Structure 1
Amino acid sequence: MPDLAPPLPPLDDLLRDAHVVALPLTTRFRGIDVREALLVEGPRGWTEFSPFVEYDPVESAAWLAAAIDFGWGPDRHPVAPRVAVNATLPSVGPDQLAGVLARFPGCRTVKVKVAERGQTLADDIARVAAARAFVGDDGRVRIDANANWSVDEAEEALVALAPYRLEYAEQPVRSVPELAELRRRTAGLGVPIAADESVRKASDPLAVARAGAADLLVIKAQPLGGVTAALDIVAQAGLPVVVSSALDTSVGLSMGAYLAASIPGLAHDCGLGTAALLAADVTPEPLLPVDGGVDVRRVDVDVDLLREHAATDDRRAWWLDRLRASYAVLTER
């Protein structure tokens, strides 16, 4: 793919102006209770660098490229002022279902996390049933397994969950060949297969589309190198897409909203309502779901909130070292 990135700003500028925050979650999600992120203000506005802590510098470099694209790249002119979003239901117990879903007012789609380690298919069925009850017959329910099933396990699960009329199953298995095999086995169920990790964590994000291994792609701005790079992938893939996020602050969600609003005819609700899972944010006007959607806008970061939720000195130093390492990767490219 062509190099679409803006010139790198000086490293010293990024380091000098960086703010590292640690935001508590309302519900444990993806195995964490606190979401850390690095924020910096560029000429275009505030931007975010927040790869998950286990990612190495090579993988994290795409997230830094995204931050630079959003803060230093081209001015954006989205085609829509709002985008519809889905509710996100983590792998919580029955007593927490109603409370979590109530944080997503007006959402017509629920994304249900399934295949959690230590849980059973029966637990997944219960959550999917609750999601279907929440949105009613006219709503949409999608599941996300984060590649935690084998092909046999995924086939068994999709057979059991198909009666709940799934919109799609996101990354049920790990590899592109496994996705293709599962898609072949379950062709009669009417459950489309979506690829997420096979796009954002792949050296070639278009390989899954070329292999015919998925019906649609899940596109995330930060892991794919930013709005500009993600739009190029969408244009080349030739498949329907869903725009989602990675438990970002409202700044990162703003990046995703600009991406979603730049895709004409986007048919699927976006996974950009996850500010509802944060117990704190970096702005007094977070991108929370309202009437089933979020606004497409730049976020004004509040300095007092940055101070209130500042990470500890050792965590700030860790993130600055990480930024340096990721910057070095981008410089080598």
Structure 2
Amino acid sequence: MHPPLTELLASARVVQLPLTSRFRGITVREAVLMQGPNGWTEFSPFLEYDDTEASAWLAAAIDFGWGELPPLHRSRIPVNATLPAVPAAEVRDILNRYPGCRTVKVKVAEVGQTLADDVARVAAAREFVGDEGRVRVDANGGWNVDEAERAIHALAPYDLEYVEQPCASVPELAEIRERVRYMDIPIAADESVRKAEDPLAVAKAEAADILVIKAQPLGGIRSALRIADAAGLPVVISSALDTSVGLSMGAHLAAAVPELEFDCGLGTAALLDADVTDTPLLPVDGEIPVERVDVSPLLLEWHAASVERRDWWLERIVHCHALLPES
């Protein structure tokens, strides 16, 4: 059974954390931290998500704060650096925030930018990690099939590990995967898993080689594990621009996956200019630990949202809680 609404609201603290660079069109990340019997947990669906979609994020927060964890297979998680859609001249400074990371995920297909911008950014990332490093790109569904094919050809010389969500729909993913199959560049699906009514549709359609799995959007660690197991594809565990509390949830998910072939997108505390803990889950030697996060009361106060934003988030919890299944 889910904890009662009053219990969730009693410990809920709403924070606003500045980012080091614009990411997903925002410069401040808002999140709700709640404390359950297991420790601190996080509810932070993006602002544009409706209550139905956001309710899965609340289920994840409850699962991590109140539920039973599955067995864990590792105590540290290798992570990738995440590179926003910045000019190529800024790449080195950003990637220096990820000490020891051998893999870089580069954001591409940013609205208002060109393919030439993407190529320059990816080239700078490849130069930074060298021939032995790994470079993957993430278009967040920003290309149609023809644009994706042209972009993948342009970026292929930089030895891509995979291309994440080049197109928005599952049929488009299946088509672009078929078109570039001869290039031996895998296609990964993110939004087609976490924002889909059927998160297994992309696997059933053979539209991707890899699934990007995120704990919060998929309803929690145990739910995400069931999806990964049913899909039968390699997975990358990633974050949703979480605080270190949410990253801890992602790290526990990554630790519970039996086979972890790829570096995970859980180093994104480096994108935050502030956090809710004195010991944020920043990459060290390219890894983060699998551990619960101690939240700082002082930082919760320092980064507390306005009364208006706090009330907005608490009302959102009320709406999402009403949508949760009975058990």
Query: 2:2 is aligned with what amino acid?
Result: L
1:205 pairs with 2:199: yes
Aligned length: 327
Counterpart Cα distance in 1 of 2:25 and 2:304: 21
Pick from 66, 69, 73: which aligns with 1:72? 66
Q: Which residue of 2 aligns with 1:263?
A: 257
C-alpha deviation, 1:176, in angstroms: 0.4
- The 5-angstrom pairing of residues 35-46 of structure 1 reads 35-46=29-40
Q: Which residue of 2 aligns with 1:96?
A: 90
- The 5-angstrom pairing of residues 1-333 of structure 1 reads 7-331=1-325
Q: Which residue of 2 aligns with 1:4?
A: none
Are the aligned partners of 1:44 and 1:75 in contact in 2 as well (CA < 8 Å)? no
What TM-score, normalized to structure 2? 0.99
Deviation track 1:96-151 (CA, whole Å, cap 9, x = no partner) reads 21111110010000000000000000000011111111111111100000001000
C-alpha deviation, 1:78, in angstroms: 1.8
Choose 123-132 or 69-78, whichever is displaced more.
69-78
Counterpart Cα distance in 1 of 2:184 and 2:158: 11
Counterpart Cα distance in 2 of 1:316 and 1:275: 22
Counterpart Cα distance in 2 of 1:139 and 1:95: 19
C-alpha deviation, 1:309, in angstroms: 0.2
Counterpart Cα distance in 2 of 1:246 and 1:101: 19
C-alpha deviation, 1:296, in angstroms: 0.4
Aligned to 1:261, the other structure's residue is in SS state helix
CA RMSD of aligned residues (A): 0.9
Counterpart Cα distance in 2 of 1:216 and 1:55: 25
C-alpha deviation, 1:94, in angstroms: 2.6
Counterpart Cα distance in 1 of 2:249 and 2:70: 10
Counterpart Cα distance in 2 of 1:54 and 1:311: 18
4+ runs deviating over 3 angstroms = none
Query: 2:101 is aligned with what amino acid?
Result: C
Deviation track 1:235-288 (CA, whole Å, cap 9, x = no partner) reads 110000000000000000000000001112201000000000000000000000
What TM-score, normalized to structure 1? 0.97
Query: 1:209 is aligned with what amino acid?
Result: A
Are the aligned partners of 1:24 and 1:280 in contact in 2 as well (CA < 8 Å)? yes
Are the aligned partners of 1:162 and 1:190 in contact in 2 as well (CA < 8 Å)? no
Aligned to 1:83, the other structure's residue is in SS state strand
Aligned to 1:68, the other structure's residue is in SS state helix
Aligned to 1:88, the other structure's residue is in SS state strand
Query: 1:125 is aligned with what amino acid?
Result: V
Counterpart Cα distance in 2 of 1:329 and 1:29: 29
Aligned to 1:231, the other structure's residue is in SS state helix
Query: 1:230 is aligned with what amino acid?
Result: A
Deviation track 1:20-73 (CA, whole Å, cap 9, x = no partner) reads 000000111110000000000000110000000000000000000000000000
Query: 1:259 is aligned with what amino acid?
Result: L
C-alpha deviation, 1:77, in angstroms: 4.0
Choose 198-207 or 69-78, whichever is displaced more.
69-78
C-alpha deviation, 1:300, in angstroms: 0.5
C-alpha deviation, 1:75, in angstroms: 3.5
Counterpart Cα distance in 1 of 2:128 and 2:104: 8
Query: 1:51 is aligned with what amino acid?
Result: P
Percent identity, aligned pairs only, is 68
Counterpart Cα distance in 1 of 2:251 and 2:125: 24
Q: Which residue of 2 aligns with 1:3?
A: none
Counterpart Cα distance in 1 of 2:69 and 2:273: 31
Query: 1:56 is aligned with what amino acid?
Result: D
Counterpart Cα distance in 2 of 1:152 and 1:94: 25
C-alpha deviation, 1:163, in angstroms: 1.1
Deviation track 1:204-258 (CA, whole Å, cap 9, x = no partner) reads 0001001100001000000000000000011110000000000000000000000
Query: 2:129 is aligned with what amino acid?
Result: V
